[in-house]
Amino acid sequence: MRSFFLTLFLLAALIALALGGAGLWWVHQPLKLPAPTVDLSVEPGTTPRGIAQAVADTGVDVQPQLLYLWFRVSGQDRQMRAGSYELERGITPKLLLNILVRGEEATRSLVLVEGWNIRQVRAALAKADQLKPDSVGLTDEALMAKLGKPGMHPEGRFFPDTYTYSKGSTDIALLQRAMRAMDKKLEAAWAARASDLPLKSADEALILASIVEKETGKANDRAEIAAVFTNRLRIGMPLQTDPTVIYGMGTAFEGNLRKKDLQTDTPWNTYTRGGLPPTPIAMPGKAALLAAVQPAQSKSLYFVSRGDGTSQFSSSLDDHNRAVNQYQRGGGSPNKPKATQ
């Protein structure tokens, strides 16, 4: 009798070892997916059994009962997180569990570029992969109200950076992050401002930074360009900067700025109006924000492009005319130039 029970025990042990070995082998085997990638959505509150069923419902060739058993045996079945996941070919039950436990959601990224205006931002959002376009159809005014800033102009209010997001996230959520980032960067820059700035508020610093962003060809010139504009503001001299004119033209600008455009008044035309324009004209980056509040110690009032991305700065109109003649007119007779170009 003892021999009989010993045999049964050994047989049971062998079966258990076989099953354990088969299970260990199975959790390391790639699952069969119906496509190179499969989207898996796990809603908050979904049970481990429901997650196993959701995996099978995507078309993955797996028995949900077996997958659920694996979740339970692992001891991590209550640690799996809700989210949007992307399963790729080669994924195993073990890797699947790791992804769910760690909450490694499928992500995409969107780059908001320094110097972009709000039209370009919204166009990029509309084209972003797997980003819900909740802002489509909203006016700029309605968009800002949705973001909790009713009455605020959207231009320049979003920090240019690379933003990652989960598949299925909304463009509104991404803009909220970008807006908070700009608020923090602007607050930090304003707190570090020079004591003699001719600026009354952080908003004015943001406006000036947006102009500096659009006018800077080479990073080394940024602080000097900011100095030109702050020097002009101090003495009440018009800023006369082309990017503000272009911004005021909106979609009417076709790539060539003409003399009549400089003479056509808009709220943003700094040739026809003094001081800063009423709003930013683009998204400034961190370096432009810092340049606007910490301009170079300089007496320059003019600058002109040298043609290589750098600028030639001058403190007098005569010197500026000579620079324009040298760098933009090939040595011909100087006519009266645009003040900052």
pLDDT of residue 167: 82
Contact 91, 60 (CB under 8 A): no
| Secondary structure (3-state) at 189 | helix
Classify residue 136 as left (phi > 0), alpha (psi -120 to 50) or beta. beta
The structure tokens listed for 246 are: 């272009």
- What confidence score (pLDDT) does residue 328 get? 80
pLDDT band for 140, please (50, 70, 90 cuts): very high
Q: What is the mean pLDDT of the chain?
A: 90
Q: Using one digit for the tens of pLDDT, what is the confidence trace for 39-66? A: 898 989 999 999 999 999 999 999 999 9
Which tens digit of pLDDT belongs to each residue from 294-338?
999 999 999 999 989 899 999 999 999 999 999 887 654 333 334
